[in-house]
Amino acid sequence: MEATDIARTVLRKEAAAIAETAVRLTDAFGAVAQLLADHGGMIITCGVGKSSFIARKVAATFTSAGKPSVFLHATEALHGDLGICGPGDPVIFFSRSGSTGELLVLVPILRQLGARLIAIVGNTQSTLATQCDYVLEGFVDEEADPLALLPTTSAITALALGDALASAVVWLTKFRKEDFLRFHPGGQLGRNLLLRVSSVMHPFPRIPHVSPDAPVRTALIAMTENPLGVCCVVAGENRLFGTITDGDIRRLIQKTENLQGIRARDVACVHPRKILPSATLGDAIALMELGPSQVGVLPVVDECDQLLGILRLHDAYGRGPRT
């Protein structure tokens, strides 16, 4: 057995474990999601060992979704960190066994603070499960690694349940893209939602362009002088006729060495993907990357198909020089 065989086995077992968890969901899930959606204070996640990393990630996901959340370290909680818990704050425990001593010590203390206790646990008959208000089952038959010991299926199942809760809360609270943007103004997520194509595109006429009847050699020279990966073919009133890409030129040269008599219209793609300047960068990236085949450049046009510029994938990701 090779390493890739092990990888496939692990991925299949983890996928199967998540699928089984979806089947076992009960009404308790909806009740927990509603509780979290309605709560106006802090959401607390808590775990020990590898489960602590899952708890940290789930807390971060809730915070991204507009629900303030924080990870509470079970040990540090007993030495002052319980101060982050407000009256009635829900606490989500993550534990495969449900018998983790550090978590069990916290249960009566959190009860005194009025916390609502939720367990995402592998053993629904465990001590932790029986002492919580809500239980979401994260049982797995076995871990996915060759030794059946590493926290693989158990960890990914608990994480998936946390993601499912966050997603349900997003739906219940009617959280919107605009709300998401308020918490993610930087990075690529912020660029995708905030910036418009018009603010990043290379404007016409400072892009390679020729008429439909121009020799293809003229298009090749224009692309060489301004290497943006494309030459736009424009007809009267700068209407987009089509595009010629580097790949189109390479394929043409493979077919013929004599470019004499070949016009731009003979080579151009006359139905290229294109986009309006008012579209977001996220829309543009999706159009370039999620189609039947990826493209690296989009012509930017108005409602009348008049060419306004081009947008490259590199520009959308903020990696390319501007002209």
**Is residue 97 domain-shared with residue 159, that is, in the same domain?**
yes
My answer on whether 78 and 159 are in the same domain is yes
120-138 pLDDT, tens per residue?
999 999 999 999 999 999 9
**Are the CB atoms for 124 and 117 separated by under 8 Å?**
no
Domain boundary among 175, 205, 220: 175
- Which amino acid type is present at position 96? R
Q: Is the dihedral of CA 224, 228, 229, 230 positive or negative?
A: negative
Residue 189 lies in a domain: no
Q: Say whether 312 sits in a helix, a strand or coil.
A: strand
* Residue position matching structure tokens 């474990």: 17
Name, in order, each residue with C-beta under 8 angstroms of 84's C-beta and a sequence gap of 6 or more: 42, 44, 70, 72
Tokens of 237: 């009133």
Q: Are strands 90-95 and 307-312 parallel, antiparallel or unpaired?
A: unpaired
The pLDDT of residue 181 = 66
**Domain co-membership, 75 together with 162:** yes
Same domain, 38 and 156: yes
Tell me, what CATH number does 212's domain have?
Answer: 3.10.580.10
Tell whether 58 is covered by a domain: yes
User: Starting from the edge strand earliest in sequence, which strands make up the sheet with 202-203, in order?
Assistant: 202-203, 307-312, 297-301
Q: Is residue 323 part of a domain?
A: no
Domain assignment present for residue 40? The answer is yes
| Residue 76 placed within a domain | yes
Residues 8 and 104 grouped into a single domain: yes
Strand order in the sheet with 43-47: 69-73, 43-47, 90-95, 116-121, 134-137
Query: Is residue 96 assigned to a domain?
Result: yes
CA distance 233 to 43: 56
The pLDDT tens digits along the chain (323 residues) read 799 999 999 999 999 999 999 999 999 999 999 999 999 999 999 999 999 999 999 999 999 888 999 999 988 888 888 888 988 999 999 999 999 999 999 999 999 999 999 999 999 999 999 999 999 999 999 999 999 999 999 999 999 999 999 999 999 999 887 777 666 666 666 677 668 899 889 998 889 999 999 999 999 999 999 988 899 999 988 899 999 998 888 888 888 878 888 999 999 999 999 999 999 888 888 888 876 678 889 999 999 999 999 999 888 887 554 44
Q: Are residues 256 and 151 located together in one domain of the fold?
A: no
Residues 243, 277 within the same domain: yes
How many domains does the chain divide into? 2
pLDDT of 16: 95
The predicted-structure confidence for 241-289, as pLDDT tens digits, reads as follows 999 998 888 888 888 878 888 999 999 999 999 999 999 888 888 888 8
Do 208 and 298 lie in one domain? The reply is yes
Q: Is the peptide bond before 208 cis (omega within 30 degrees of 0)?
A: no
DSSP letters, 151-165, are SSHHHHHHHHHHHHH
> Which tokens hold the place of 182?
């308020």
CB 228 within 8 A of CB 297: yes
Using alpha carbons, select from 297, 254, 290 the residue that is nearest to residue 272. Answer: 297
Q: Is residue 291 part of a domain?
A: yes
Helix (H, G, I), strand (E, B) or coil at 196: strand
What's residue 322's pLDDT? 47
Of the three residues 175, 210, 243, the one that is the final residue of a domain is 175
- C-alpha of 249 from chain center: 35
Tell the residue number behind the tokens 């370039």, with chain if given: 288
- Domain span at residue 73 reads 3-175
